[in-house]
Each structure stands twice: as C-alpha cells, then as structure tokens.
Amino acid sequence: MATTVTGLTADRMLAIEAASVVDGDVDGSGNLILTKHDGSKINAGSVIGPPGPQGPVGSFLSVLSAKSVLDVGLANQIRAGRQLSPADFGNLGLSAPLGLWNLSDLTDASGNGRNLLNKGAVPFASGINGGANTAAQFIGSTAQALYIPDTGAADPFRLKTGSVGCWFRTAKINQFEVLIGKYTVAGNQCSWYIGVEGSSRATFQVSTDGANTWTGGQVIGNSSLADDRWHFVVLVIDGTQYRIYVDGILEGVLLSSGLPYSSSSPFNIGSASGDGATASVSPFYGRIDEVFFTSDVLTDDQIRNLYCAKIGHTLGSTPSRITLNVRRRRKGAALVASDFPTQPLRLHNFSGGSLGDEGSNNVGLTNNGAAVSVAGADGSTGNAFSYAGAQSLSSIDTGLPSALTARSYGCWFKTNSTTIQALIGWGSYSANVAFMCVLNSPAGQINSSSGADGITGPFVADGQWHFAVTVEDNTAIDGVKRKLYVDGRLVGTSTVLNAINLVGANGFRIGALPSGSWLLIGQADGAFVCGYALTAEQIYALYAKGSQALTPSPKNVGDHIEAMDSASLLAIFDSMESQHQIDLSVAA
C-alpha cells in the first residue's frame, strides 16, 4: 500500500479527518458543543465560570509630558508647521516639488537646483521653527525681491495646474502685498500671484491673456492675516477651479475661466516683477518661509499634512494606540521679571494689594482716591485694583522711556463702561505722551495714542478681563513703528511715532491720563513698562501665562493626529490655547 509524504497511510489520514473538529458553538445551557468532520458531536462541558486571568497590557511610551503648545515661530513649538523636505511630499505619494526654498539661504531644497537670486540684499530672520536666520525678512521695499528669471516657453513656473504655498507673517494691516508671483504689468506679462489683499485676507489672481485686468478672476479668503503671527497659505489650480487654503482650511473657491497666461515675467518671492534691472511691485512687509511650488494638484488632506508639526517618537514601529491628555490653566497669573526678556522698568502685580514695583526702577505707586484691592485677572484674591471713576495710581515718570526710545507697556483690565477712560500712560499730555485708553467714540473700543495719531482696536467694554499691550519702535525692521495687541493678537498698527516728554511727579498713571483726567471705571492688574520692543511671541507668552492648574482631561486623538509612522507623528494643535499643556503617549 502506498504511503503519503507524511509517512501516514491513507486509512490513517481518513481516520484523523473523521475525528477532526470543524465547528463549535455554545448551547443555551452554556455548554461548548464541538462538531467533528463526520458530523458527530462532542459536549466539551460548560463554559460558564469565573473570569480567566487578565491578558498582558501593552505599555505606553511617553512622547510629551506637560508640553506647552507655544506658537508657530518659537523653538520646540508643536502647534503646527515644520521645515519641509522633498520627503514630506514623497510620503504623500507626490512627486518632488519643482522648487522648495527653506529660506535659511537661497538654495533650492527640491534637488532641482533652482536657486534664488537676491535683489536688494534681503536678510534672513527667525522662521517657523524658531531658529535664527531661517526665513526671509522683507521691509516693503521695491528695491527688494527674491527671484528666478524666466527660462522661456518650458519655464517650470509658467503654472498651468499645480500648487504653490508658503508660511508668512505680517503686521502691516490693510496693505496689498504679494507673497509669491509671476507677473509684470509692462508688456502684458501678467500670469498669477498669491498674496494678502487690502483687507488683510489671503488672495489670488490669475490672468488668462497677460493683461493686468486679471481676466481669470480672483479668490479672496476669510481670515484677517495681518496679526503678526505665522500663517500657512496654499493655492491649488486643477484646470477647472482655483482653491485657496489658510492654515490647512479651504477659504475660497473660484471656477476657472481659463488657464494662467504663459508669462515671461520672473518668478518672485516677496514681491512681483522684480529682477536685477526692474523694480519690484507690491512688496511684502514681514517674513516668508518654506516656499514650495509643485505640479501636483494637492488635496485637502495633503495640505493639512504639510501644515502639521512633526513630533518624533522612539517606539520603532507605527503606533496602534495613542493617548492624548490636556492640562489646562487659567490665564492671568501674576507676572514676574523672569517672564520678560530682561527685567521691566516697572512691574506692578498688586499682589495682596501691594503698590510696590518689581521692575528695575523700584518706584512704588500712590493710591489717589482710595482705589480698592480686588481679585486679579486669574481670580486670585487681592491681586488687582478697582476704580470707580474717581481713583488712580500714580508715580513719577523718571526712568521711563522718553523721546523716541523703544518701549512696550501694557496691563490686564476690565470695564463695562463706554465713557472715555485711560488705562496706563506717562509723559506730558497730549502730544508727547504714551497711553492706552477705552474710547467713547467709537464707544467701548480700545485705543493707543502717540500724539495725534491713534490706533483703534476692538470693542473691549464687555466686563471681561483683557490683556492690552502697545509696542513702539522707531527702528522696527518691518517699518511698522507702533503695534497694539489685545489678548495676545495684533489688532492695529501705525507707522507714526512721536516723542515722549517726561514730566516728573505723577507723570506715570494707571487708571487715568498722566494729567489725572479720563478716570477708569473698572479694574486693572499686571501693569508693566519695558524699555525695549517686545515681540509678538513674547506678548502672547505673557498673555497665556496660567495659574490654577486643572487635572488632565482626555482629548480625541483623531482631532489632532493627522498621520503617523515608525519614527514620528504629524500633529495639529492649533485649536488649543498656548497656556495648555499636552501629555502624549504611543503604544505598539
């Protein structure tokens, strides 16, 4: 009799097959009934009983522990953004970009060798990753541009379909500025550009015939972007429509009326039209980083992926589980000297009703009219003063910035009155004084003045705590000499700065003008004066400083983690406040 390759006879194999269990089920009494191959059944006994031992639990690897969100442009931030590489496009199944400029220099990081030329010695400054000299800094000059000359009919930047984008920040409000473009009005060589239009929103225009009537139409976004913070803008052309994205979100769509004109204009970053012999037009005020140009038509998900921050982990494999907790803190904590780049000249926290000065001037305040000590901006007892329209705090203004010296000053405040009332200021009223106030016309809006020039911000007479800061710098690199911030965001600017004349006694006041008029009806906390210009990031950090920590609360991981691999997570935390801290863990 023949045998099988297993060494078993055919009869033995048939016997094994007949005895094999091919199915199992639990009956109504909890018995496990097994069915053999030959159709007979076996009662294997009851499966009802005590639970078995707990199986092994996979351990979580901590990636972030109590990590502050911070803002884009600060070192080690995790809100969004990263330096891009060709691999970031390849990981999305895309081709290498036609051009990719990280703008720590003029080099094309795409590998195509399309290096930029620098017109007007455009310098480099801090970029989205917080590193020095990692973004191009423009000052709104027609003598400046980064550009690549056109190379003829096959020029890769004669865009037909594809995507172009960059990170940028500007503090120039209501100014038309070009971020990236390929157009020259002379000779009807207009094709396309992406920029910021007159109401500070992202925009794109296209010409289908070269004329500057922009026959292809215009897309305008929704968000106001002149807030001195980093934003990510992307234009997508697919041949049937134009789409514009801001910070990973679609903000405008226009049906195509034709493809962009094949223009011989140079490819420009930070302006349009500019090359070695031609002045730039519509120059940019601010910084630009991570410019890319690709022939691929990007999808919504691909754009959000490029917008993400990259967070490394050492798991060694793609995570199967992720946990995300958020630790929250209440804004408005007392400021200390170490919260500032250098010790402020004046710092009044009013802790426990104190009128002392934690600044380098060490000048205490006088309570005029018996202002009352009340809870501070973070709810702590006795850490602010309340004013009823007849009180103020004052001191001499000796040692405070004068003339055109750079300065920053601000405070926490709240009011529900729409009468005109001063918050903080010093100097001789009215032409040679620095102060912030709440206006009676427009009623309840904040204002910061330098002589006759005033910056008017949003409505603040809502009975809620707000943090207002004015920055004045006569040599500001972006040409914006005065900036007004409310609750960490830029709300107004001016290019006018007037000198301050010190007056001595009672020249500095909180809750009134230095002259003693325009008395506050409300409360104030955390007043300070610095002898230098604070940056937007530094102001936001002061605003976001938190107290009264709460226990961690879980967050939906899928709302923040966009992609993951064996080495890193791509995440977006732009919906979280900067005073929040994150716990993030992964497991195999």
Which of 588, 550, 555, 552 lies closest to 573 in space, CA to CA?
A: 555
Q: Match 């060494």 to its residue by tokens.
A: 7
Integer Cα distance of 540 and 470 in angstroms: 13
Residue 143's pLDDT band (cuts 50, 70, 90)? very high
Asked whether residue 75 is assigned to any structural domain, the reply reads no
Residue 433's pLDDT band (cuts 50, 70, 90)? confident
Identify the pLDDT of residue 473. 97
The SS3 of residue 353 is: helix
Instruction: List Cβ<8 Å contacts ≥24 apart for 86-92.
Output: 86/110, 86/111, 88/305, 88/306, 89/292, 89/294, 89/296, 89/306, 91/565, 92/302, 92/305, 92/306
Using one digit for the tens of pLDDT, what is the confidence trace for 235-289? 999 989 999 999 999 999 999 888 999 999 999 999 999 999 999 999 999 999 9
Using one digit for the tens of pLDDT, what is the confidence trace for 185-222? 999 999 999 999 999 999 999 999 999 999 989 999 99
- Report the 10 Å Cβ neighbour count for 67: 18
Q: Are 247 and 574 in contact (CB under 8 A)?
A: yes
Same domain, 534 and 579: no
Average pLDDT, stretch 505-518?
94
Asked whether residue 56 is assigned to any structural domain, the reply reads no
Residue 363's pLDDT band (cuts 50, 70, 90)? very high
Same domain, 466 and 571: no
Asked whether residue 54 is assigned to any structural domain, the reply reads no
Residue where one domain finishes, among candidates 248, 273, 307 = 307
Same domain, 265 and 368: no
Indicate which CATH number applies to the domain containing 227.
2.60.120.200
- Report the 10 Å Cβ neighbour count for 31: 14
Residue count of the chain = 588
Same domain, 338 and 464: yes
SS3 annotation, 540-581: HHHHHCEECCCCCEECCHHHCEEEECCCEEEECCCCCCCCCE
Same domain, 440 and 573: no
Percent of the chain scored above 70 by pLDDT? 90
Residue 563 domain boundaries: 62-70+312-329+549-587
Identify the pLDDT of residue 451. 84
Identify the pLDDT of residue 434. 84
Same domain, 303 and 339: no
Same domain, 203 and 137: yes
Asked whether residue 285 is assigned to any structural domain, the reply reads yes
Domain total of the chain: 4
Asked whether residue 52 is assigned to any structural domain, the reply reads no
Asked whether residue 81 is assigned to any structural domain, the reply reads no
Angle made by CA atoms 514, 517, 518, in degrees to the nearest 5: 110
Instruction: List Cβ<8 Å contacts ≥24 apart for 366-369.
Output: 366/393, 366/394, 366/395, 366/506, 367/391, 367/393, 368/392, 368/393, 368/394, 368/516
Same domain, 268 and 142: yes
Identify the pLDDT of residue 3. 38
Residues near 506 by beta carbon (within 8 Å), at least 6 away in sequence: 366, 394, 395, 396, 514, 516
Asked whether residue 266 is assigned to any structural domain, the reply reads yes
Average pLDDT, stretch 117-133?
96
Identify the pLDDT of residue 86. 97
Which of 408, 431, 410 lies closest to 501 in space, CA to CA?
A: 431
Same domain, 384 and 399: yes
pLDDT of 19 above 60: no
Chain mean pLDDT for the chain: 90
Query: 3-state DSSP: the chain helix, strand, coil percent, rounded to 5?
Result: 5, 40, 50
Same domain, 225 and 371: no
Using one digit for the tens of pLDDT, what is the confidence trace for 369-413? 999 999 999 999 999 999 999 999 999 999 999 999 999 999 999
Asked whether residue 5 is assigned to any structural domain, the reply reads no
Same domain, 366 and 458: yes
Residue 70's pLDDT band (cuts 50, 70, 90)? confident
Same domain, 420 and 519: yes
